[in-house]
């Protein structure tokens, strides 16, 4: 997958015949996550995300493909193209990557593209443990990287100490 990002839930897509982007939802599995240290939010989007409920608002605005004046868009994904076919996930789907495109039933062409893959880097306690303390101190002198790597007390433990 040379330098391509995996698309995750919350990724932003747009249609070449619409005006407003919409965010992807994953409804076909609850198992595989990407770049999500708690494995709770960033489900991997697969080729099984088809149909009419694969997006949060399920619209890209008005559909200019349907004439003038353009009626409201109702997204209906029939298939995904240019996906990563070397890995098949538990739902039987293949991984959608940032240059994949979806085919809409109205347009009949791959007109829906990914404009933001949805992944965000999340710093974890292990990142701070592995960081070079001298460099971290120079980059951000106001943060004590040793304190960031320690376990924080829960609310119950804090009450006991007070």
* 86-139: pLDDT as tens digits: 999 999 999 999 999 999 999 899 999 999 999 887 777 777 778 788 888 888
Sheet of 77-81, strand order: 22-23, 12-15, 110-116, 101-104, 77-81
pLDDT of residue 43 exceeding 80: yes
pTM: 0.75
* Co-location of 34 and 106 in the same domain: yes
Q: Please choose, from the candidates 127, 120, 79, the residue with its C-alpha nearest in 3D space to the C-alpha of residue 103.
A: 79
Strands (E), 7-54: 12-15, 22-23
Phi, psi at residue 146, to the nearest 5°? Answer: -65, -40
What's the pLDDT at 152?
53
* Co-location of 98 and 150 in the same domain: no
* Co-location of 131 and 74 in the same domain: no
pLDDT band at 148 (very low <50, low <70, confident <90, very high): low
- Cα 17 to Cα 122: distance, rounded to the nearest angstrom: 34
Range of the domain at 12: 1-122
Interval 45-94: pLDDT, tens: 999 999 888 999 999 999 999 888 999 999 999 999 999 999 999 999 99
Distance of CA 156 to the CA centre of its chain: 34
Structure tokens at 4: 């391509």
What's the pLDDT at 100?
97
Number of domains in the chain: 2
Contact 109, 135 (CB under 8 A): no
* Co-location of 116 and 143 in the same domain: no
* Co-location of 111 and 87 in the same domain: yes
């Amino acid at each position: 997958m040379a330098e391509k990002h995996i698309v995750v839930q919350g990724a932003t897509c747009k249609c070449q015949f619409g005006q407003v982007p919409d965010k992807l939802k994953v409804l076909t599995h609850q198992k595989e996550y990407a770049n999500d240290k708690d494995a709770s939010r960033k489900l991997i989007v697969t080729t099984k995300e088809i149909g009419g409920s694969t997006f949060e608002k399920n619209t890209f605005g008005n559909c200019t493909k349907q004439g003038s004046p353009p009626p409201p868009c109702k997204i209906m994904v029939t298939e995904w193209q240019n996906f990563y076919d070397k890995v098949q996930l538990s739902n039987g789907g293949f991984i959608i990557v940032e240059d994949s495109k979806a085919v809409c039933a109205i347009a009949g062409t791959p007109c829906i593209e990914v404009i933001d893959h949805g992944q965000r880097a999340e710093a974890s306690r292990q990142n701070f443990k592995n960081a070079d303390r001298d460099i971290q101190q120079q980059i951000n002198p106001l943060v004590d990287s040793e304190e960031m790597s320690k376990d924080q007390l829960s609310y119950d433990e804090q009450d006991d100490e007070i």
